[in-house]
Structures are given as structure tokens and as C-alpha cells.
Amino acid sequence: MTVIFSKKCEYGLQAILYLSTLEREAVLSADEIARKLNIPKEFISKILQSLTDSGIVFSKKGKSGGFALAKDPRRIRLIDVVAAIDGLAVFDSCVLGFPNCNPDNPCPLHEKWGQLRTKAYGMLTDETIDLFREKTISKVNAK
């Protein structure tokens, strides 16, 4: 179950983490990524295109083409992936969807959500994908 992110963002994070486990020069097709992560190919292709547009992933066309990380995994923060796919509005909006929720006119969850939102944003900003390489390898191999 998704708490904050869309399914598209979850899959994007999985794809980026998976690509980080490969050799630096390795290029994988969307088919290979979809199979390995058990994600529909059409869906992962659109996600990878968004990540390519944002400069996190690069694509190589042709018979031996595919996708790979465009940057060193130590330079890709989790928040970069979230921003590229879902945007950052979730960190500025009311968790209950009230348009006028603010510190002067808070919803019932405003204070608690604000604390969680701040912690989540901080964690996603501080963590780079290279820190999750080993855990990702075991998760991908378990699929």
C-alpha cells in the first residue's frame, strides 16, 4: 500500500535502485527491467522516460539500447526521483486534502502530518541510492 507516493513513483524508485546495482556501463532494456521487477513494460517505459527527461537516467537507442543511470549513484538522492515522477506537492499540501489548511487554520492532522512530512522529506533528501545497493540486490533477487 502506498502511503505518500504514487505507484508510478514506487516503480521509479525500484527501477533506479535496481539500475544502481548494475555495473556502471550496463544498459538494460525496458523489457529486462520490467521482467526483473515484475512491472508492466508499458508502465516502466513511461517512468523511465520521465527519469530520462529529468537527467537521472540516460537512454541509448538501437538494438543494444536501453537505460542506465546518468549519474553516479552517490549523487542521486531519493528526493530527486520523487520530484521527477510525483513532484514535491505532497510535502506542501494537506494530508486530508483541505485546500485552506495552514498553521492558522489547521486540519485535525495538520501538526502530526507536518512532523511526519518533515521527517520523510529529510530522509529522502539525505539518502542517496548508493546507500541501498546491497539491500536492493537481495530484494530484486528474491522476486
pLDDT of residue 1: 37
89, 93, 95, 98 alpha-carbon torsion, rounded to 10°: -140
Q: Model confidence over 11-51: pLDDT tens digits?
A: 999 999 999 999 877 899 999 999 999 999 999 999 999 99
pLDDT on residue 132:
77
The 3-class secondary structure across 18-80, one letter per residue, is: HHHCCCCCCCECHHHHHHHHCCCHHHHHHHHHHHHHCCCEEEECCCCCEEEECCCHHHCEHHH
C-alpha cell at 122: 529529510
Which has the higher per-residue pLDDT, 22 or 135?
A: 22
The ranges assigned to domains in the chain are 7-142
Which amino acid is present at 109? L
Asked if the model's pLDDT at residue 58 lies above 50, the reply is yes
CATH of domain 7-142: 1.10.10.10
